[in-house]
A and B are shown apart, each in its own frame.
Chain A
Amino acid sequence: MVRMCTGIVRNRATAEEIVQDTWVAVLNGISGFEGRSPLAGWIFAILVNKARSRAVRDGRTVSFDGEGEDDGLAAAFDGRGRWKDMPELWENLTPERIVEGRSILAHVTAAIETLPPAQRSVLILRAGQELKSSEVCAILAITEDNMRVLLHRARLSVRNALDAVIAGKGL
């Protein structure tokens, strides 16, 4: 929860405060929770609302609308849509394998930390698998199309980071 929150408010101390506030709200509100949606989804909705209110209050507008960055693979294709550099299989990849001084899992975690807030939120919420797509969309107040674009871009960024480390080439 703190990681998810830090993606929105960008400051760990603030994120921890918000998580605490969220638990208080959850405990206070639990008798009103009717169980029509999964508990995790309800808790995350409270968390995200608090985080976004705080971000706005602190002067950070958090836009979840696709964020307008360019496609992480735009430069990877030639004029005919073919790969300029053919991707190669990642050989012998285990989460614990050490590459450039860190485990693969540590590289993935680091790559996720650098994602813009919306991409990071979607990636984290979807990765957990407890929430359906529609629930993630409801929590973040975005459309399904929006969510798919964000998820794809987030995965692409992490994949690019891993490929740069594993195959020793940057994209």
Chain B
Amino acid sequence: MLSCKEVAERASALIDGELGVFEALQMRLHLAMCKGCGAFIGQMRTTRDLTQRTLPLDNQPDAEGARISAILSRLHATKQSGG
């Protein structure tokens, strides 16, 4: 049986889907019985999701990324054709 400390150490691996089948099962067994660890894993997931929300700084990230990609693609094509 995993201890709470061992569960906490594997938290990131769990939420990133990087645990092997057996380890993931051990984790889920513990989480089914331990509210504290359940809360902790939820907090780590929330932390990950909130971190994603802080990026990027600008308001229109996708539009800017697309614009930059478009400019770079045109430049790439221009340079490759010797222009």
Q: Is B48 an interface residue (CB 8 A)?
A: yes
| Size band of the interface chain B makes with A | 35 or more
- Main secondary structure on chain B at its contact with chain A? helix
Cα-based distance from A73 to B44 in the complex (angstroms): 13
- Of B8, B52, B72, which contacts A30 at CB under 8 A? B72
Q: Tally of A-B residue pairs with Cβ under 8 A?
A: 104
Residues of A within 8 A of B (CB): 3, 26-27, 30-31, 33, 39-40, 71, 73, 76-77, 80-83, 86-90, 93, 95, 104-105, 108-109, 112, 123-124, 127-129, 148, 151-152, 155-156, 158-159, 162-163
A36 to B65, CA, bound (A): 19
Please report whether the interface of chain A is mostly helix, strand, loop or mixed according to DSSP: helix
Contact of A90 among B9, B35, B42, B56 (CB under 8 A): B42
Min distance, Cβ A163 to any Cβ of chain B, angstroms: 7
Give chain B's interface residues, CB within 8 Å of chain A. Answer: 3-6, 8-9, 11-13, 16, 18, 35-37, 39-40, 42-44, 46-48, 50-57, 65, 69, 72, 75-76, 79-80
Given the complex of chains A and B, what is the CA–CA distance between A109 and B51 in angstroms?
8
User: In whole angstroms, how far apart are the Cα atoms of A128 and B48 in the complex?
Assistant: 11
Contacts of B75 in A (CB 8 A): 27, 30-31
B4 touches A155 (CB 8 A): no
Question: Within 8 Å CB of B53, what residues of A?
Answer: 95, 105, 108
Inside 8 A of B11's CB, which chain A residues have their CB? 152, 155
User: Of all chain B residues, which has the CB nearest A1?
Assistant: B56
Q: Pick from B3, B13, B16, B46: contact of A93, CB below 8 A.
A: B46
* Contact across chains for B35 and A86 when beta carbons are under 8 A apart: yes
Interface centre among B12, B18, B51 (most CB of A within 10 A): B51
Which residues of the other chain, A, contact B57 by a CB distance below 8 angstroms? Answer: 3
